[in-house]
Amino acid sequence: MYVLLCPCILDPGLRARGITRQSDLDCFSRCIERCRHFGIETVPLPCPETMYLGADRAPGSFEERLNTPAFERLLDRCEEKVRDYIDRHGEPLCILGVDSSPVCGVTSTFRTDEREPGRGAFLSRFPEHHAIDVKAFARYRIYLAAPLFSEAEQMYNRALYDDLSAHFFEVYLPQEVGDTSNTREKVEHRAIFAQHLAALDEADMVVGVVDGADADSGTSWEMGYAFARGKPVIALRTDFRCAGHHELVNLMLEESSAVVTDRTGLPAALQSPRLRER
């Protein structure tokens, strides 16, 4: 099991001069950390831009410096090399690119001086392979906010945990803390709250289960806290009842999250590396 990734994720020195920030380095580090955590081999792609312009280069668009017959021939050779590797080793889990890159962008690129949607010049040659921006791939730690008070609820949460783990997400499951009794002492309350809060702070995203006539109060608090901290929130609402004329669930929860109505839709909402583009 392996991913193909832009080589600058492993060696930021390959990037154009002056564009790399500390947040980029942190993102690259978390990306590599995720691969190591789940035993995913990282296989660097060739870097046509560096091969053509050199490592010490100023930033620029595709049209500005790369739209030449010579660069097109270089892309041909690089593509052939990558396809040969795939033929010998099997299909990659996904390709990890870097958005805005004129060559390795995934959802956005600079073909001209204006950012535009679409893949960069090199990754666009592999449309059949699932590609993810490195920033999305680096978000893999999930806090699963859900009611956990009945056997049925805990079984469902465990099933979600297994689903998400199979997609290479590291999932924090609050019910594993041992919050299973209504006879807790006050000191236990504080300890449980502190542990959950620390897990929320460490999480990259929150998935909240909001089924029922009204969303669970603890789940709602956790989702709101995550939203206030700027973390992506996914609301899983499989309940067919609507909360209002225009909303599936309480409007404050719906407006602060992306609502998914089927648990099989969670991997796509979370940008799982196991997806295959259609």
Quick check: 247 pLDDT over 80? no
Confidence of residue 260 (pLDDT cuts 50, 70, 90): very high
- Mean pLDDT value across residues 119-142: 96
pLDDT in tens, 153-162: 999 999 999 9
Q: What span, in angstroms and rounded, lies between the C-alpha atoms of 248 and 261?
A: 9
Quick check: 278 pLDDT over 60? no
Q: Distance from CA of residue 184 to its chain's centroid?
A: 37
Between the alpha carbon of residue 101 and those of residues 97, 130, 131, 164, 209, the distances in Å are 8, 17, 14, 30, 36
Domain boundaries, the chain: 2-137, 141-269
- Mean pLDDT value across residues 83-112: 96
Half-sphere exposure of 97 (CA within 13 A, CB side): 26
pLDDT of residue 107: 95
Q: What span, in angstroms and rounded, lies between the C-alpha atoms of 121 and 71?
A: 10
Residues 86 and 92 sit within 8 Å (Cβ to Cβ): yes
Q: Which of 9, 18, 14, 76 is nearest to 49 (CA)?
A: 14
pLDDT of residue 178: 67
- Residue that wins the pLDDT comparison between 178 and 215: 215
Confidence of residue 181 (pLDDT cuts 50, 70, 90): low
- pTM of this structure: 0.89
Q: What percent of the chain has pLDDT over 90?
A: 78
Among left, alpha and beta (phi > 0; psi -120 to 50; other), residue 182 is alpha
| Token digits of residue 207 | 């998935």
Q: What percent of the chain has pLDDT over 70?
A: 95
pLDDT in tens, 7-20: 999 999 999 999 99
Quick check: 261 pLDDT over 60? yes
Between the alpha carbon of residue 157 and those of residues 95, 143, 146, 147, 214, the distances in Å are 30, 11, 7, 8, 18
pLDDT in tens, 28-81: 999 999 999 999 999 999 999 999 999 889 999 999 999 999 999 999 999 999
- Mean pLDDT value across residues 253-268: 92
CATH number for the domain running over 141-269: 3.40.50.450
| Token digits of residue 76 | 């041909």
Residue-wise burial string across 158-185, b where 16 or more C-beta atoms lie within 10 A, e elsewhere: eebbebbeebbbbbbbbbeeebeeeeee
- Residue that wins the pLDDT comparison between 275 and 81: 81
pLDDT of residue 123: 97
Q: Which of 116, 113, 135 is nearest to 61 (CA)?
A: 113
pLDDT in tens, 142-179: 999 999 888 899 999 999 999 999 999 999 999 987 66
